[in-house]
Structure 1
């Protein structure tokens, strides 16, 4: 029983490492280049980078995490929290303390795996701190496992039931609003890359790595696709993002230097938004309105049959929208923080959006959108 957490953490680490290893192995299959051992070591370094562990290279620090791998790893560790909770026999007990103990056990095992990976990945020209890896993966593993443990034990549901309705609805609205706004960013980023497909293909073809190598490079770009989605979200919200020191990519100004030679960067706009393209800026507001519409539907359904339902539903709507906006802002700011980082060298020391600017803009947009959407839905519903 005591080894269930570390074993689950080990399996979660192995599953989340495989995509990185495959991508980097394929990327290194060039003519006379890259051996399997080197690709495996690079895969370990890339896996640690996905968890936010910075790498020291000969060109400078590398800290831009491939978020697709990080999200996949978080899901696997969350499942480890579920399996460990069941192994300990605490499923459906609704006890948050027991869920926290399970999360700590899984997180500790995950941290040990991370420290071992750091020791194996380090080599001349590539510095990885084992202590930093241990601490980073301890926090990462504990939080991810806690999500799974809280769900399977029922503690999350118990905690939600005990919350004031306005707070509970506000948190739900904020989460939904943040997800919808990020979804708009993902859609715009995908559309931009698709419209620049010819340029992206030219960049990919310039590598001369053969089919296997190009597949690996494509997989690496896919690993950074969530980063691109978050950057596009920051672009739509207004703050924009940087692709290097003293560079700016926002709707009103685009000032970039030499970009990284990756197909993904082909989607970066080459000038300010104009004409019908300006309509894209209203998409995050529409996403906030949809979150407000969903909030109003839920509140009206729960208040149905109550003699005082009309007054209480108006108060609940306004209060939940007021809570939901800042919650969405915090989530969007956290996403922006996770999506940024240096890419070696002083010129590329700043990559990504400024978190507090994204948080502020996201909170404002979701608050206004959710309030308008919820109020309009409530008004159309009648007394």
Structure 2
């Protein structure tokens, strides 16, 4: 079969979906990866894996209907040229306009991967955010039209499935759940930590909804109780509407309590320095890949009791769940694990076992292939 995988961002397409695409090629299928901002480096990486990379026009965050319509027709032309047997679309814009384009191009086997509901469906705690109300209403209507044109809709957590099905945006007959994107357990190997240091780490895009400011504020509280603790913030600024700016976090970095690391292409050296992984997110995650990578390396996890995030923690076994936007609750959990090296170590070991049992990328890819019938 010729299988197209369409994403709205080449970095995430290559970074998150490459294991799946490589598995599809191992099964004897011809794979075409399509995304905007596809660089020569992306194309070279795909070529080495015997995957055909193609560029397309797809505005991931904009809301210009003329631009979206133009880009959809460009996708129709590309898909008519490629004539794939199967198309898998991923991320909101790709699912919506990619599905419409595939329908118009005559691609009969259409599948959508909903890897989190993102900005539009994230509760930011404000009484009324008219922009978000407009975006959510529009996205719900477009999702409702697009998802029903797919043979299968694949979710990464049960909460997202239940929400879209309860709102009649998706039919339960189409819906499937897989355990996130999975993690390569060989690439992210387990390592026991040294007792000599105490390092907390947050890895992720610098978005308000990722709980970055809660982490920065909690670090100050934890530092007063555990002066030996260090705090790493690994991630870059983003174009998302809720992205933080350098000025908005500078005051938290000036005193040296938190170290901000940017431009990281391989997070493993930073994870291996850490003892406890923190992600106080209330973003509508699928299952956070950063948390899975931390679990695979043997880190205890502190995260929020929210869709996607809660999938990664068995309370009290491999980590702790805290309330969203609750800095004191977060700091308390960080102090609890930071004060007990043996507890953090045993939870880190449990994280690795959970990653092996449930989040192994090979298990996830097997499920994806089964659902798509390939």
Range into which the TM-score falls when normalised by the shorter chain: under 0.3
TM-score (normalizing by structure 2): 0.26
The structure showing larger relative contact order (alpha-carbon pairs under 8 Å, at least 6 residues apart) is 1
Q: Which has the larger radius of gyration?
A: 1
